[in-house]
Structure 1
């Protein structure tokens, strides 16, 4: 079973807000010259911001934050954020993979930006009774 795809915009303004909230002011998240000098395609989103957006999708699918029992990802690609009004978009989808002995639902999650997978081995376990409500 596939869950409905969720889409989340990410702009440079979002990166500034996240940096302020998290305290992560690494210049790869705001300085184009620095980001390209260290080999990145440009300014990139914070990995934990990307993970948080995927976590938001899981929470929305599960119906409540307390319905998410386990959530993990591996970062596989950076999320470049152009310096324009549109920024970029992270598209999150998931498939129900199985049900545990306890009756919980295991989700295999895919996060894509610009046609590229940005996370690997993304998984969540949620209370089945809350899924889709």
Structure 2
């Protein structure tokens, strides 16, 4: 969802959903991200290596998941420069099946409004396969 102009701070309410999205992650996505980030750890593209260290299979890079999760808020805000802070806790890995991949779902909801600074705290619920994968995911957005 891309905004024509910035959302109006005065029209926001705590609890309001401002964006929702689903992101497909494939093994190809992981290889491309590895090339862009320089993170070539084999647990992100080889099942045998992932399993040898006790994982159920290949998992997505945490920063890939984090970056995808904030995108609906960036689109809603209309300008990436409006993001003044973004924090998450990695709570569960995103396993990426060789055939089916994975889908990360994001729901962005107004968590708090700082009227003094015209900043909205947007809380993200980020899930994959029905399980939360990022905890305490919060984005502070300046809406001056």
Q: TM-score, normalised by structure 1?
A: 0.91
Aligned to 2:111: 97
Q: Does the CA contact (< 8 Å) of 2:19 and 2:72 recur in 1? A: no
Matches within 5 A, 1:2-81: 2-81=17-96
Aligned to 1:82: 97
Once residues 34 and 123 of structure 1 are traced to their aligned partners in structure 2, the CA distance between those partners, rounded to angstroms, is 33
Q: Which runs of 4+ in 1 moved over 3 A?
A: none
Q: How much has 1:94 moved relative to structure 2?
A: 1.5
Which sections of structure 2, spanning at least 5 residues, go unmatched? 1-15
CA-based RMSD: 1.1
Q: TM-score, normalised by structure 2?
A: 0.85
Secondary structure at the counterpart of residue 51 of structure 1: helix
Which sections of structure 1, spanning at least 5 residues, go unmatched? none
Choose 1 or 2 for highest CA Rg.
2
Q: Does the CA contact (< 8 Å) of 2:60 and 2:93 recur in 1? A: yes
Q: How much has 1:4 moved relative to structure 2?
A: 2.9
Secondary structure at the counterpart of residue 8 of structure 1: strand
Identify which of 120, 123, 131 aligns with 2:135.
120
Between Structure 1 and Structure 2, how many residues are aligned?
Answer: 128
